[in-house]
Amino acid sequence: MKMSSAASRRNSCRGVVCGSRAPSECHVRRRGSSCSYFSPGVQTEDFTVSLSQPIFTITLRFLLAIDLWLSKRLGVCACEESPWGSIRPLVRLVEFSGHVAPWLIGTVYTLLRGGSAAEQETMLNLALALMLDLLLVRIVKTLVRRRRPAQNRSEILSTFFVERYSFPSGHASRAALCARFFLAQLVDTDSMRVLVVGWATMVSLARLLLARHYVTDVGFGLAMGYCQYCLVERLWVTWDCLQDPLLMRLRESLSSAYSGLWMLDWKH
């Protein structure tokens, strides 16, 4: 009896040790899989549905579940271990082509080096459109505060230039805005139209392949950028309308400076 009780105590102690060790080992294995969609520490959305809920709530939860599932399926370049991880550098290059920094720098440079008034007017409105898009996307992201997909992997550049909020996609809205701007103002051949539309599509798709956004983020961003050009076209700033206020302010500055110098000479 004593030997059996001692053996049972050893077995129970061994079971306790193994039981306490198993969760830690499982936790280590989960932490090691950095490319899993549901990474540790990230709370996933709850899509439990009850029949007592309103039909609108049930439909919304169902659509969000589809959005989550489809976004997970499309994130095939989230990391090097992903199914399409070998083309990740190329996809990131396409993604960078829709970043706001090169677009603003290129637009301002073309505006300052423009050879004609019509070219400068076009580049001025493009710069204003880019700043409007940047402002509206930031406002919507701050209001919605939707977190990025857990599959998203942060690099050194994305740590400084990518926001933590996901809805809507700024790359998608910028791609749609610039594509429609170019199609309406600068592009006049069918081959260039196909190239511009293909670029906007590839930028939006790159955000999904890299798991930067959900599908609804990209879709709303495309619609947002498309509608922003309507506002830019309605509020189009012409070069003549811009020159008149500048000339008036320049005359006022020159007259005030001249009057100040005259009063200074009169006192002497």
* Catalytically active residues, by annotation: 171, 213
The contacts of residue 216 (CB under 8 Å, 6+ apart) are: 67, 167
DSSP 172: H
Q: Distance between CA 268 and CA 22 in Å, rounded?
A: 93
φ, ψ (nearest 5 deg) of residue 49: -120, 135
- The answer to whether the CB of 175 falls within 8 A of the CB of 200 is yes
Interior angle at CA 195, CA 84 and CA 134, nearest 5: 80
d(C-alpha 229, C-alpha 236), whole Å? 10
Pick from 116, 123, 42, 90: nearest CA to 206:
90
Report yes or no: 171 and 95 within 8 Å, Cβ to Cβ: yes
Q: How far apart are CA 170 and CA 100, in angstroms?
A: 9
Q: What amino acid is encoded at 27 in this protein?
A: H
Rounded CA-CA distance 182/194 in Å is 12
CA distance 98 to 92: 10
Phi and psi, residue 163, nearest 5° = -80, 160
